[in-house]
Chain A
Amino acid sequence: MASKKKAPVKSNTGGRSRANDDIGEDLRRKLYLSQLECRQVEQKAYDLFLQNLIKGTSHLGLGQEAIAAGFATAMKPKDYTFCTYRGHNHTLARGASMEGVLGELMGRECGLLGGKGGSMHLTSVEHGAMGSYAIIGAHLPIAMGAAWSAQYRGTDQVSVCFFGDGTTNIGAFHEALNMSQVWKLPVVFVCENNLYMEYTPISEVTAVEHPAADRASAYGMERIIVDGNDADEVYRTAQTAFARARAGDGPSLIEAMTYRHSGHSRADPATYRPEGELEEWKKRDPLPTYRARLLEFGISEMDIIAIETDVTRRVDAAVETAKASPPPGEDVLMTQMWADGGSAWRN
């Protein structure tokens, strides 16, 4: 590691005109669609929780859709994602079905995990969504392991790992970043900095201002900060990181600035936020921002409404499907602990 020039901070600049458009109309429709699906499903999850159809707890990603959509759209189908318990958006964005997600939240048979895992463990291996993890930091080295596997097998797969600002202070974060760099693994670590570690402002518990980006240099990585509420910027950042990884140049650490509209979990009314903060951030809500951008790029209001109507229709249908699905029966209780489908520990 010769010179350590501090990399320029990336922010949401870049002119919005067709002239310097590297993304294009099709991709933009995809990005909007993805964010919209995430937003509407997540809002349904909120409603269903209030109707007591979703039990336990749920960690909603309302407000953070652009990150999930931006990265997922930049990924290839065979890439791996690992996310936290705030993972509904990420799992949907990789292509998991809405009734699979909602059904799992409601503890029904049609759920992605048959009701066995719940909101915090959404997984869809067929889509590369290799799990949502509820222990802070645990999945960073696991994501690294998937990258090691890709490197060993000589494929160009990338492993993408999403986590929150609070994760940057736990031991596994440091172990994973260090070892990924030493082994030059094709893994992209994405810190969704929504400014709060559970109920505490992240600044109060972190020794540096940007909890991820300001630690990158400790692991020989570039300092990358992106506006997490601008799907186009997220997409571009993702592309760069993936290209690095696929070229064998090793891991990246990206800090995406964002904000969550709801509390940490359903139990949290988020009264610890200063007055006005939520309203300020809602002005930068990724969905209306992106909608406006679509219009700016010449996609018609009618087209946009068509997209929105279709999403609403599909989300409503998914809710009905999930509601009609029965809860799992006793016959599945003792299954699938072992690879043989059972759970026997003795003869």
Chain B
Amino acid sequence: MAELTYREAVAAGMAQEMRRDPNVVFLGEDVAAAGGVFKTTVGLLEEFGPDRVRDTPISEQAILGAAMGAAMTGLRPIAEIMFSDFFAVCWDLVANEMAKSRYMTDGQVTVPVVVRCANGGGVRFGAQHSQSVENWAMAVPGLKVVAPSTPADVIGLLASSVRDDDPVVFFEQKSLYATKGEVPDGEHVVPLGQANIARQGKDATIVALAAMVPRALKAAEILAAEHGIDATVIDPRTLVPLDTRTILEETIRTGRLFTVEENPRLCGWGAEIVSIVSEEAFWDLDGPIVRITTPHIPLPSADALEDLALPSVERIVETIRTSVD
């Protein structure tokens, strides 16, 4: 086992796959010579050379178009979109082209592409560089959506994403880049569609994603120690494919469900989970399902304001404490 930061894990995960398969190539803005604006791809140019690790102009549509065209013709490209907010600039390539081509051509076309991005807030970059948009991708049929919360999961899920023959959008949470975690030695692969039960409890179930996972775990500790509420914390890790079975089983066991979501309120990823649970586990609920999310506003830049907007440990504890009897 080694201890890596989340950002180091990105480079490690990419390197693991690029060593294994010569068809894996990588392109993006400032990714090669500079090692990425978040220093997530340091060392890749040196190891794999300029044919496999390429810097591009500021051309998001061209970056994703090139990745898709290459994926359709034998390569397995990884493309980087620097900030996930920028998906809005090239969303056609993601939602209309990559996602739909296989279905429209009845399986003639395969698009084994991975689009990585830095997602989410908490780093005071302002509204256009801080939104969590994994729910945008979840809403598009034909995309797989991955959002790891630990360095080990970064490597394992990136490996599965690269090996997957379908288009995968890989959301790295920028506020987690500096966090550390244990990473197993050797090749590490985590299958898509498997949630991780980060904490086992019995009084309530909390489903949290990415940067909200450590906050939910902290809140669960406080709820257990100070309020006698022993909560399960589930990290779905992938939104599509979604491990509904684990979420349903745990919710049926505990009778209560809460989600903790960094995305803005409306149509966040938790809304779909709430819908599934209220339909399929209705008779096992001992109280209403509650979503804990960022309010429905663009994220402010001042640190004091941003911290009020994103779900804090205090807000998570308070919401659950007053709801569970």
A98 at the interface (CB under 8 A from B): no
A138-B107 Cα distance, complex, nearest whole Å: 20
Q: Which single residue of chain A is at the shortest CB-CB distance from B93? A: A138
Q: Which A residues touch B63, using CB under 8 A?
A: 141
- Asked if B65 contacts A152 (CB within 8 A), the reply is no
Q: Which B residues touch A338, using CB under 8 A?
A: 102, 165-166
Name 22 interchain pairs, CB-CB below 8 A, sorted by A.
A115-B106, A118-B104, A124-B108, A125-B105, A130-B72, A130-B73, A138-B61, A138-B65, A139-B97, A141-B68, A142-B65, A142-B66, A145-B69, A145-B70, A159-B69, A172-B62, A175-B57, A179-B57, A332-B106, A335-B106, A339-B102, A343-B103
- Asked if B57 contacts A182 (CB within 8 A), the reply is yes
A113 at the interface (CB under 8 A from B): yes
- Asked if B62 contacts A133 (CB within 8 A), the reply is no
B193 at the interface (CB under 8 A from A): yes
- Asked if B242 contacts A123 (CB within 8 A), the reply is no
What distance in Å separates the Cβ of A329 from its nearest Cβ neighbour in chain B? 13
Q: Which A residues touch B61, using CB under 8 A?
A: 137-138, 141, 171-172, 175-176
B189 at the interface (CB under 8 A from A): no
* Given A138-B92, A339-B112, A113 and B245 contact (CB-CB distance below 8 Å): no
Q: Which single residue of chain A is at the shortest CB-CB distance from B64? A: A141
A115-B103 Cα distance, complex, nearest whole Å: 11
Taking residues whose C-beta sits less than 8 angstroms from the other chain, chain A's interface range is: 35 or more
Chain B, 236-261, contact with A by CB distance < 8 Å: what is the 0/1 string? 00001111110000000000000000
- Asked if B109 contacts A125 (CB within 8 A), the reply is yes
Q: Which B residues touch A345, using CB under 8 A?
A: 141, 240-242
* Given A133-B97, A142-B72, A145-B71, A116 and B62 contact (CB-CB distance below 8 Å): no
Q: Which single residue of chain B is at the shortest CB-CB distance from A117? A: B104
A130-B92 Cα distance, complex, nearest whole Å: 18
A343-B77 Cα distance, complex, nearest whole Å: 23
Q: Which B residues touch A80, using CB under 8 A?
A: 73
A234 at the interface (CB under 8 A from B): no
B75 at the interface (CB under 8 A from A): yes
B51 at the interface (CB under 8 A from A): yes
- Asked if A141 contacts B112 (CB within 8 A), the reply is no
- Asked if B62 contacts A339 (CB within 8 A), the reply is no
A140-B97 Cα distance, complex, nearest whole Å: 12
A52 at the interface (CB under 8 A from B): no
* Given A178-B59, A339-B166, A145 and B106 contact (CB-CB distance below 8 Å): no
Residues of B within 8 A of A (CB): 25, 51-52, 54, 56-57, 59, 61-75, 77, 92-93, 96-97, 101-110, 112, 141-142, 164-166, 193, 240-245, 276
- Asked if B110 contacts A175 (CB within 8 A), the reply is no
* Given A141-B62, A148-B69, A347 and B243 contact (CB-CB distance below 8 Å): yes
What distance in Å separates the Cβ of B28 from its nearest Cβ neighbour in chain A? 12
A182-B110 Cα distance, complex, nearest whole Å: 27
Q: Which B residues touch A9, using CB under 8 A?
A: none
Q: Which B residues touch A15, using CB under 8 A?
A: none
Q: Which A residues touch B108, using CB under 8 A?
A: 113, 123-125
Q: Which A residues touch B51, using CB under 8 A?
A: 152
Q: Which single residue of chain B is at the shortest CB-CB distance from A336? A: B107
Chain A, 333-347, contact with B by CB distance < 8 Å: what is the 0/1 string? 001111111011111
- Asked if A149 contacts B70 (CB within 8 A), the reply is yes
Q: Which B residues touch A139, using CB under 8 A?
A: 65, 97
Q: Which A residues touch B54, using CB under 8 A?
A: 183
A194-B142 Cα distance, complex, nearest whole Å: 35
Q: Which B residues touch A137, using CB under 8 A?
A: 61
- Which of B56, B61, B240 has the most A CB atoms < 10 Å from its CB? B61
- Asked if B106 contacts A142 (CB within 8 A), the reply is no
Q: Out of A82, A175, A343, which one reaches B62, CB within 8 Å?
A: A175
Q: Which A residues touch B141, using CB under 8 A?
A: 337, 343, 345
